[in-house]
Chains A and B, each alone.
Chain A
Amino acid sequence: MPFFSNGMEYLIHIGILIAIYAILAISLNLIVGYTGLISVAQAAFYGLGAYATAILLTNFGLNFFLSILVGIVVSGVAGLLIGMVLSRFKGDYYVLGSFGFNILIYSIFLNWQGLTRGPLGIPGIDRPSIFGFTFSSNISFLILVAVAAFIIFLFAQFIARSSFGRVLKAIREDEEAIQIFGYQTHRFKLAIFVVSACLAGVAGAFFASYITFIDPSTFTLNESIFILSIIILGGLANLRGSVLGAFCLIILPEILRFVGFPSEIAAQMRQVVYGLILVLLMLYRPQGLMGEYKL
């Protein structure tokens, strides 16, 4: 049907981005929403997963699904090391520490040129393939990443509803009180930080394989702030809110492309309107669209 073939690839592309950012948002919400730790280092783990996958696919010809496992381990190990340092901080210092780590990891992407090719980036990253089938069409890739996002959603929901999740919420509400009951809160914080880093690595692997080109400019502090914005808009400590937030922040600028602004000012007006909508949303819904907890 010609009507539905028009623009379908574009919508599929949007769907893939929503799925990838939903994974990122879910991963960050586990730390920020459930544990109350504000981190702006998520783009670093996103990037580690992306680079690990890209390097293994392009330099070693490893299968995507094996590469993603390695990406998870790399992001997880980095999360462990960074989490061990960050767990010594609280409040604003935690934020600043995570800020510093994002910049550190970005610098590694940019400067370790022998491994990452620095600013030249890594092109020619293959799409996933398994048992002779390659996910070369965007629709097949969308199905793959949507399934991954769903599995991650269920996994995160399992964590949130478990006794482990209840401890995280208690840490968020009053860490000192729960320490009195004998809980070693730094271990719980470290554990969830590592889990979050691993999940962000999964998103990075999918991103690298979908766009087929990565460079350091994608994994900057701005990206971490964007992911944080998704979960604040969608709602902290609500995983469906994370998905909704990803949906809104990806869809909104795309809808604005079709608003008939004059071409001389279209791009600028879209930025203005986008910002205005976000401000209005935060004014009238500060806990986010589906939030259970305010920062």
Chain B
Amino acid sequence: MRISKRLAAVAAIAAVSGVGGSQLLTLALADDPPPAPPTSTVPVPATHDQKTAFAVLDQAPSTADTENALVTRLANEAQRGFAPTDARIVGSTATGPIWLVPANGALCLALEDTTDGSLGASCEPSEAVITRGVTVGDGSTVYGLAPDGVTSVDVIDAGSATTTIDLVPGDSVYRLNTGHVTVTVDGSSGMRSFDVVGG
């Protein structure tokens, strides 16, 4: 059975520091990803901190940004405070735009598929996203968005090999096609590492 890198790290820390079983369990549970955006019947606009980390959220919408019918449907269906009018296009895939969407206490990355009229999203708490970005997968590729000012991300694979992905100015979306990696982002909040699974 494969053990996640973070769980292995927790076990190693416990071994050298003498942490007991129940404390180890607590540490392991702290490794769990965060919960969904809390329910909200009204849109929750982008916050000051979100706009600071992603300046596009502080810009007037482009014509393409206003073509947000699917994001609006996501907001209506989910009832988690998605804010369609604050959503901005931050990149594209072969089938459509990539959206950065504020939600209740969260930021989400969403992939629109213009061929079948669908949209898939993944959300994480705002405090995590503004420091190291957010990702979403479609089952074959993981798309990640780094905060403004990040010029590259380091990707460490299961074999501990590191690949550096340079980000083009004005395009902070990176793409991953490996199964389970650790991504390190060195942004204005300092260096942050997180696990990415999928692709």
Decide whether A and B are members of one complex: no
Binding site for A on B (CB under 8 A): none
